[in-house]
Amino acid sequence: MEKKLFLVGALLLSLSLQINAQVESDYTVPSWTLYQRTVIAGNPNTSLLVPKDYPYNVNVTINGDPSSRIGATWFTNAGVTGGKLQLKEGNTSDFSSAREIVAVSVDVNDIMYVSSGNNNNDLVEKTGFGKGEKRSYVSNKALIDNLTPNTVYSYRVGGVNGLWSDAGTFTTAKTNEDEFSFIYITDTQSNTDEMFEISRKTVATAQANVPDAKFLLVTGDLVETSGNNNSEWEWEQWFETMKASWQKLPIVPVQGNHDTSGNGNMFHHFNTDKSFNAAQSEAAAKTAMEGTVYSFVYGNALFMILNWEDYGKGETYFSAVETWMKAQIAANSNVRWKFVAYHKNMFTGSGSHQSDIDGRTVRERMAPAFQEMGIDLVFQGHDHIYEVIGVINAGKNGETNTYATVEGAVTDQTLTAGGTREDMTGIHGGTFNVQKGVLYFLNNSAGKKKYEPRTEVQMVAAESTTRVPDYYQFFNRFGQTGEPTFSRVSVSTDAVNISTWTVDDAGVPTLFDAFKVIRGEDGATAIFSATRDAGKLSLYQNPASEHVTINCQEKIVNARIFALNGRLVKTQSGSDNVVELSGVNNGVYIVSVTTTGGVYNEQLIVKK
């Protein structure tokens, strides 16, 4: 027994000497954690250690016009400042004569590393770090501008004491309307080694199967723990385990409820456009974390990234977001498609969240606004199931919302028996004409965590909480794949083609569903020809330049001006019959007037 105790003591002493031979502050936080785990396992591996001045968590994000600029972010240890980004055209590892951009560095002090809310005892045991331990960092950001469209660039970051990151690449957008593709995922939501491996495999498989992807859209819940317990170890692992993908794929991040933190972890890790908050004069109109409401145009599509995690700010916030959206649409009136991405669902069939008050609050406030603005397609998150919902026409009847499926908007679907967890409705594929409504889409989740779909009976029983009568009618393909998923989204002027793939344990993708989104053959002309009634509505002057006067026999509720492709150009609420035409370009339009007696339409020519 004494000999055995002596041997154990000698082993512990040996391990202690090996640990003490290394000093944590000499190495990067991620590498020290990896090394510490080998020490705890009894097999110390010093080759894992990386000098403290080395950059990590490197990524680039869409920030403004993707044809001419992009944002970059990386972390360094506390006290490691003075970093920069080097940039060079082409796919290269030679950075001689490279353009250099000095980083803007911000201290990120005393944030939770291993969270008390992690529920990850295995991590604590393997690292030796106690729950509640904190770490400090420096967040480094560089905005790369004055780029040439449709050009491959190589970059690296760091440079402190001659230490640089591996080279990454990105390609700037074209300035025309050529077709392009991107990857859409959501809810990686990982906090264990196993979960991060699933997310890594999903993203790597997506990248291999969509090699022409211009960026990756992730609609929230990148990590698991939230609030004051937001675990920086989880953010660290999100970037480090998927490092090979982020070196070649710009990210379009969306804030989810699990990404919300008073420490601003997500804000410190991404460099997105912050002009939304800068434009707000009221505190209640600003997002809690900057850079979580932003937009960009890629090809022939306007992308608007929204943050519904701040829904509790109330009408001031919703009004600010709606006003901002309308401004983005007006500023980009020439684009064909209007896409929205957010995390917290406005429409869902999940048993976990369909009855949630937050989703209902956002839906009741914003679904009619989406309808009015002519939003085409929405990318959602939060509910970890697969659902194609719509085409939905949302409106108001007094204070009550109305929701209706758009008749004839969906074609080319196939039917199976349905009724299973994976295939609730038996409705597959389809072509969705969003000319008169909005299509809401969620492609399950890219991680391990899954939720369960509700049946029609369950949805009927929950109507008092959802306030959506006959909710089940809105669902097309609907179910739980049981496996992580990704979607390829290809956007052309004529159509948006979306294919969603499951990824098995071996990383093999299988096509789960595919559908097409269109916006009608004849645009607004076809929509309004049947309701045109010149006997009850006339316009003066027509052609018009600065304003147009509506002559109508009935009281006007609102007036809307549409381009012939169905794009909403201008809305005026109230009984005022004079519509100002500022911001309306020369061309032929449809003026649609809602009155107390009906809806009437007339053609308008704008000639300035």
Mean pLDDT on 77-105: 97
Has residue 593 got a pLDDT over 70?
Answer: yes
**What is the count of structural domains for the chain?**
3
Q: Which residue has the higher pLDDT, 370 or 412?
A: 370
Share of the chain above pLDDT 90, in %: 73
Mean pLDDT on 517-546: 66
Q: What is the pLDDT of residue 115?
A: 62
Has residue 518 got a pLDDT over 70?
Answer: yes
For residue 538, is it within any domain? yes
Same domain, 507 and 593: no
Q: How confident is the model at residue 592 (pLDDT cuts 50, 70, 90)?
A: confident
Same domain, 322 and 251: yes
Whether the ω angle into residue 391 lies within 30 degrees of 0, i.e. cis, is yes
Same domain, 60 and 204: no
Same domain, 476 and 331: yes
274: helix, strand or coil: coil
Among 114, 144, 174, the domain-final residue is 144
Give the whole-angstrom CA distance, residue 381 versus residue 371. Answer: 20
For residue 150, is it within any domain? no
125: helix, strand or coil: helix
Mean pLDDT on 121-146: 81
Q: What is the pLDDT of residue 415?
A: 80
Contact (Cβ atoms closer than 8 angstroms) between residue 92 and residue 154: yes
**Which of 349, 355, 353, 346 shows the shortest CA–CA distance to 318?**
346
Number of CB atoms found within 10 A of residue 558's CB = 16
Q: What is the pLDDT of residue 17?
A: 44
Q: Which residue has the higher pLDDT, 590 or 289?
A: 289
Query: Would you say the C-alpha torsion 464, 467, 473, 476 has a positive or negative sign?
Result: negative
Least confident of 93-97, 111-115, 280-284, 363-367: 111-115
Share of the chain above pLDDT 70, in %: 91
Q: What is the pLDDT of residue 187?
A: 97
For residue 179, is it within any domain? no
Q: How confident is the model at residue 326 (pLDDT cuts 50, 70, 90)?
A: very high
Q: What is the pLDDT of residue 209?
A: 96
Give the whole-angstrom CA distance, residue 348 versus residue 386. Answer: 9
* 458 sits in which H/E element: helix 456-461
Q: What is the pLDDT of residue 15?
A: 45
Has residue 226 got a pLDDT over 60?
Answer: yes
Q: What is the pLDDT of residue 317?
A: 97
The strand ranges marked E within 186-328 are: 213-218, 251-253, 294-298, 301-305
CA of 351: how far to CAs of 427, 439, 457, 461, in Å?
A: 20, 21, 12, 12
Same domain, 465 and 432: yes
Q: What is the pLDDT of residue 534?
A: 47
Contact (Cβ atoms closer than 8 angstroms) between residue 326 and residue 364: no
Q: What is the pLDDT of residue 451?
A: 96
Give the whole-angstrom CA distance, residue 229 versus residue 132. Answer: 8
Same domain, 22 and 83: yes
Per-residue model confidence as pLDDT tens digits over 1-54: 444 434 434 444 444 444 457 899 999 999 999 998 888 888 999 999 999 999
For residue 174, is it within any domain? no
| Domain of residue 599, CATH code | 2.60.40.3080
Among 126, 144, 162, the domain-final residue is 144
What is 54-114 written as a DSSP string? --EEEEEE--S-TTT-EEEEEEEETT----EEEEEESS-S--TT-EEEE-EEEEEEEEESS
For residue 202, is it within any domain? yes
Whether the ω angle into residue 543 lies within 30 degrees of 0, i.e. cis, is yes
Mean pLDDT on 105-111: 95
Using the 8-state DSSP alphabet, how is residue 317 labeled? H
Has residue 525 got a pLDDT over 50?
Answer: no
Same domain, 236 and 332: yes
Same domain, 485 and 447: yes
Q: How confident is the model at residue 159 (pLDDT cuts 50, 70, 90)?
A: very high
| Domain of residue 342, CATH code | 3.60.21.10
Domain that holds residue 527: 523-606
Same domain, 257 and 315: yes
Give the whole-angstrom CA distance, residue 64 versus residue 69. Answer: 7
Same domain, 580 and 435: no
Q: Which residue has the higher pLDDT, 593 or 356?
A: 356
Q: What is the pLDDT of residue 127?
A: 61
What integer best gives the mean pLDDT of the chain?
Answer: 90
Per-residue model confidence as pLDDT tens digits over 178-212: 999 999 999 999 988 889 999 999 999 999 999 99
Same domain, 409 and 532: no
Backbone phi, then psi, for 119, in 5-degree steps?
Answer: 50, 40
Give the whole-angstrom CA distance, residue 302 versus residue 564. Answer: 18
Give the whole-angstrom CA distance, residue 181 versus residue 194. Answer: 29
**Which of 256, 466, 441 shows the shortest CA–CA distance to 360?**
466
The token pair at 44 is 């110390």
Q: What is the pLDDT of residue 116?
A: 54
Same domain, 506 and 553: no
